[in-house]
């Protein structure tokens, strides 16, 4: 069992070791089981692998089989996707020219000089507050400057019940 802080290696890290073991057996550097049983070749070293280990060749074939199964599954999914989506696309009606045309929104309506617009609006409002003007076409109602209106109303009551209060 490994220590808890050891880093785990991928199972693909064993692939080079498996292939190296197969090459060593094929070249004769490591004797095969049949050569050991016949006693024709004395072992070169005193070490050997445990006989309960998995066979390297079978493990390599299993790994190749799994890789092939994964590739076959991916290919089958892509083929089914192509077949099903192709059938669905053929069942749809063709697109109209209105659906094909690219939509381009108009450019934004921005003010070219917003500070000049603000100054013009403030000048208009200041002119309304400080100038005289008629409010209707029959000239029965008029607008007076705010300063003059405040001077006329100073000291008067805004209560309609008592319109005649003497001004001091």
How crowded is the C-beta side of 58, counted as CA atoms within 13 Å?
A: 3
Q: Flag residues of the chain having pLDDT under 70.
A: 1-11, 31-54, 160-168
pLDDT score recorded for residue 6:
54
pLDDT score recorded for residue 117:
93
Distances (CA, A) of 25 to 15, 47, 93: 16, 15, 65
Q: Is residue 160 part of a domain?
A: no
Q: Which residues pair with 133 in a beta bridge?
A: 143
Contacts of 56 (CB under 8 A, 6+ apart): 18, 21, 22, 25
Q: Is residue 158 part of a domain?
A: no
Domain, as residue range, for 130: 117-153
Q: Is residue 100 part of a domain?
A: no
59 and 29 in one domain?
A: no
63 and 36 in one domain?
A: no
What is the rounded distance in angstroms from the CA atom of residue 51 to the CA atom of residue 37? Answer: 13
Single pTM value for the model: 0.29
Domain count, the chain: 3
Distances (CA, A) of 129 to 4, 59, 120, 132, 140: 83, 96, 14, 8, 19
61 and 31 in one domain?
A: no
pLDDT in tens, 25-74: 887 777 666 655 565 555 556 666 666 666 788 888 899 999 999 999 99
pLDDT score recorded for residue 123:
95
Joined together, the tokens standing for residue 94 give: 């063709």
Joined together, the tokens standing for residue 35 give: 């050569």
87 and 62 in one domain?
A: yes
């Amino acid at each position: 069992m490994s220590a808890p802080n050891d880093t785990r290696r991928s199972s693909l890290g064993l692939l080079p070791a498996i292939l190296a073991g197969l090459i060593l057996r094929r070249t004769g550097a490591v004797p095969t089981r049949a050569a050991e049983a016949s006693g024709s070749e004395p072992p070169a070293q005193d070490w050997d692998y445990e006989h309960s280990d998995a066979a390297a060749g079978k493990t390599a074939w299993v790994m190749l089989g799994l890789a092939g199964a994964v590739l076959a599954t991916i290919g089958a999914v892509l083929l089914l996707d192509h077949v099903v989506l192709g059938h669905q696309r053929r069942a749809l009606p063709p697109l109209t020219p209105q659906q094909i045309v690219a939509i381009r929104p108009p450019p934004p309506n921005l003010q070219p000089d917003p500070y000049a617009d603000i100054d013009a609006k403030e000048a208009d409002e200041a002119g309304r507050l400080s100038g005289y003007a008629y409010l209707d076409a029959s000239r029965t109602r008029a607008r007076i400057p705010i300063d003059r209106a405040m001077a006329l109303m100073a000291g008067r009551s805004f209560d309609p019940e008592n319109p005649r209060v003497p001004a001091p």
